[in-house]
Amino acid sequence: MIQKQQHSLLNKAKEACDLLRRHLKQDHVVRIISHNDADGISAAGVMCNAITKENGKFHVTIIPRLKDEILSKFFKEKYKLFIFCDMGSASLKGISRLKADIIIADHHQTNPETKIPDNIVHVNPHLYGLDGTRDVSGSGVSYLTIRPMGYKNLAGLALVGAFGDMQYKNGFTGVNKMILDDGILSNNIEVRNDLKIAYKTEEPLYKALSHTINPPIKGISGDEEGSVTFLEKIGISYMVKYAELDNEEKNILKEELVKINPQIFSNVYSVPNEIPELRNLEDYSNILDACGKNKKQGLGISICIGDRDKSIKEAQDLVKSYSDDLVYGIGWINKEGSVIQDNIQYIYTEEKRKKRIMGTLSSIGLDLEILDPTKPVLAMSRMDNIIKVSGRTTSQMIEKGVNLGYALENASKSFNGAGGGHNIAAGAVIPYREMNNFLNLVDEIIRTQLNTT
């Protein structure tokens, strides 16, 4: 069944590829619009690389979301082919008003009732009953669209987006697995087991370990003192770099870390022909993620289409400062903890450095269990008179009935705010003066959710 569905998706992708080729033959500049996260940037990158190989030209713009004002700007453009990557499936109607051919290569939910307008070739796994949340990303759908051209060297970049959208969970599944096989069989991707610690060659071990956040290591991630204590306990000098350890020491370190989190020693995916900084697909994804978060999407795209040297250094500095912020934030939670209510807990900040990472920090805090995993976390960032709220919980709590999207949507409405999202991660904006009332209401809603299941 799945194979038949994949086949239908590939057929649609081929139709899109044929359309792209027809425009390239006529020397039309291809207008690419994509999303500003790691997946969207790599999706555009896959497309741009294929077009370049075909001796074609493109004009790419990376945007945070497809708002009406932005779309109306595109209406004034004279391009003959628009390609929307990692977005567009939710805006079929608006997009169809463009007087041009259109390809949408997206993996987000789409309304199956909406009739697909004639000028759009819509490539989306959901249309064929395939999973777009875990089994293929925007960069993956982009790759499917240019796959008939035969550029299997782009399979790696197609999976960079899957890492960015956190689709990797102990392996790749569905269409992602098919893309991985493309890469492996054409010798463009290598898979091996390795120890996943940050800054292996650059930093002393205590720092390398405390900066390793994905996968999380309890008592060590984000905690330099914890890291030193751990290394002293297992008899390894904390000032040496990983690369300087002898084999026996490397083994001891590996075994002790695996005891804390087995994920620390697992599959690493790499592109042998890439420069060392981008060889590991997860590192590549972190680099694009940092570009997106810092509004340096142009930098991300230039890296994807082959700019190396200076761009890499600049992007790596962004990754480093982001990871420094996370370590700083984890230290803060370790020291201060959260404010506990009956059914929820919250953390609150007015500090700029922490505001932009509060959501991520909540997830990491739950993973590391420095925040109680049995209580949903609300991360509150004050911006003048409003509070930006990020809510995070665990899949165990979802099973017990918690739905944060619903809770934040309803609670924020009561105070003239707005909110919503997924059951496991959601957001809201509320007036500052209502913060305590809002927290009490969310607490109440979560209590009801837990009692009615």
Contact residues toward Mn ion (CB under 5 A) are 39, 86, 138, 165
Q: How far is the CB of 411 from Mn ion (least distance, A)?
A: 28
CB 161 within 8 A of CB 188: no
Task: Yes or no: say if 431 and 417 are a contact pair by the CB < 8 Å rule.
Answer: yes
Residue nearest to Mn ion (CB): 39
Q: Which residues of 273-296 are buried (b: 16+ CB within 10 A; e: fewer)?
A: ebeebbbbbbbbbbbbbbbbbbeb
> Min. distance of Cβ 288 from Mn ion in angstroms?
12
**Residue 183 and residue 175: Cα distance in Å, rounded?**
13
| Residue 22 vs 67, nearer CB to Mn ion | 67
What φ, ψ does residue 351 adopt, rounded to 5°?
A: -90, 125
Q: Closer CB to Mn ion, residue 86 or residue 289?
A: 86
The encoded tokens of residue 348 equal 């609150």
Among residues 165 and 409, whose Cβ is nearest to Mn ion? 165
Closest separation between CB of residue 39 and Mn ion, Å? Answer: 3
**Least distance from Mn ion to the Cβ atom of residue 270, Å:** 22
Q: Report the C-alpha gap between 175 and 38 in whole angstroms.
A: 19
Amino acid (1-letter code) at residue 42:
S
Characterize the bridge pairing of strands 418-421 and 425-431.
antiparallel
61/334 with CB nearer Mn ion: 61
Q: How far is the CB of 37 from Mn ion (least distance, A)?
A: 7
Start-to-end Cα distance in the chain: 34
Least Å distance, CB 137 to Mn ion, is 5
Task: Report the nearest approach of Mn ion to the CB of residue 140 (Å).
Answer: 9
- 91 or 449: whose CB is closer to Mn ion? 91
Nearer to Mn ion, 39 or 182 (CB): 39
Contacts 24+ apart (CB under 8 A), 183-186: 183/152, 183/155, 183/156, 183/159, 183/271, 185/152, 186/152, 186/153, 186/155
Helix (H, G, I), strand (E, B) or coil at 376: coil
Is the Cβ of residue 174 or residue 417 nearer to Mn ion in the bound state? Answer: 174
